[in-house]
């Protein structure tokens, strides 16, 4: 089903920023444009055919846990969704992806990559995760409450990837009204895979040593 709406985008509505003004975003490729719009609400957003990415709040110390929709590296799909948690006390940066075609009857195909200066802790691509993390948004942007198809359609024609080193987010997308929204949360506090691997073997050894000392 297609919906009609007025075309709200004006030259003043789209705020573009030079990469140097967004230190947390190191670089973009493909269709990505660094910039923002003032409203990303469902069906009432400021529509844009551009694939936008912008920094939200930076250096936020979480006061409570935030559930993450995807934490696994690789392309989703086919990579299985591995939810995670950004725990209270973690210092995070937040970034928002937005595209919402101006013509509600025309789909926009786009792809590209975004590289950050910190590692990707997790990605919010479902409406529940987006709503629960809206506290990381900017006060200058109206987010509202997301619902329905505001996130990504996975499985479907949308896909994304977290790189193996966790610094780069890749995106391939088909967007149509009401558009697509993704939040990418980065942090210096992402565990190193090799550290976790080593810890797996270290814990049994430490326990064995402790039992020997006690015995």
What are the tens digits of pLDDT across the range 86-135? 999 999 999 999 999 999 889 999 999 999 999 999 999 999 999 999 99
Q: What is the mean pLDDT of the chain?
A: 84
What does each C-alpha distance from 26 to 37, 179, 190 come to in angstroms? 20, 25, 18
Query: In angstroms, rounded to a whole number, what is the distance separating the alpha carbons of residues 73 and 174?
Result: 21
29 occurs within a structural domain: yes
Q: For position 136, what pLDDT does the model report? A: 97
Mean pLDDT within 135-143: 96
Q: For position 195, what pLDDT does the model report? A: 41
Residue 46's pLDDT band, with cuts at 50, 70 and 90, is very high
pLDDT in tens, 3-28: 344 434 433 344 444 443 446 999 99
Q: For position 82, what pLDDT does the model report? A: 96
56 occurs within a structural domain: yes
What does each C-alpha distance from 55 to 94, 105, 128, 173 come to in angstroms? 6, 29, 20, 20
Q: Which domain holds residue 47?
A: 15-190
Q: DSSP 3-state assignment of 60?
A: strand
Number of domains into which the chain is organized:
1
Report which listed range, 41-55, 61-75, 181-195, is most confident.
61-75
136 occurs within a structural domain: yes
Q: For position 192, what pLDDT does the model report? A: 57
Query: In angstroms, rounded to a whole number, what is the distance separating the alpha carbons of residues 85 and 67?
Result: 4
133 occurs within a structural domain: yes
Query: In angstroms, rounded to a whole number, what is the distance separating the alpha carbons of residues 129 and 91?
Result: 18
Q: For position 157, what pLDDT does the model report? A: 86
Q: For position 23, what pLDDT does the model report? A: 62
Residue 31 has pLDDT above 70, yes or no: yes
- Tokens 């015995």 -> residue: 215
Query: What's the CA dihedral at 204, 207, 213, 215 to 10 degrees?
Result: -100
Residue 207 has pLDDT above 90, yes or no: no
5 occurs within a structural domain: no
Q: For position 66, what pLDDT does the model report? A: 97
73 occurs within a structural domain: yes
27 occurs within a structural domain: yes
10 occurs within a structural domain: no
Q: For position 206, what pLDDT does the model report? A: 37
């Amino acid at each position: 089903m297609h919906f009609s709406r007025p075309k709200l985008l004006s030259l003043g509505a789209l705020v573009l920023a030079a990469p140097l003004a967004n230190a947390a975003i190191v670089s973009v490729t493909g269709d990505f444009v660094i910039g923002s719009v003032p409203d990303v609400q469902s069906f009432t957003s400021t529509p844009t055919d551009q694939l936008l990415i912008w920094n939200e709040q930076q250096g936020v110390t979480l006061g409570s846990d935030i559930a993450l929709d995807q934490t696994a590296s690789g392309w989703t799909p086919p990579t299985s969704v591995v939810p995670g948690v950004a725990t209270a006390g973690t210092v995070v940066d937040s970034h928002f992806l937005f595209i919402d075609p101006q013509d509600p009857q025309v789909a926009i195909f786009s792809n590209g990559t975004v590289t950050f200066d910190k590692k990707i802790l997790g990605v919010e691509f479902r409406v529940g995760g987006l709503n629960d993390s809206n506290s990381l948004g900017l006060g200058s942007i109206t987010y509202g409450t997301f619902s329905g198809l505001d996130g990504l359609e996975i499985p479907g024609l949308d896909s994304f990837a977290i790189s193996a080193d966790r610094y780069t987010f890749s995106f391939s997308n088909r967007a149509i009204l009401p558009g697509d929204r993704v939040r990418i949360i980065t942090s210096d506090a992402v565990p190193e895979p090799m550290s976790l691997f080593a810890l797996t073997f270290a814990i049994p050894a430490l326990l064995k040593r402790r039992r020997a000392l006690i015995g």
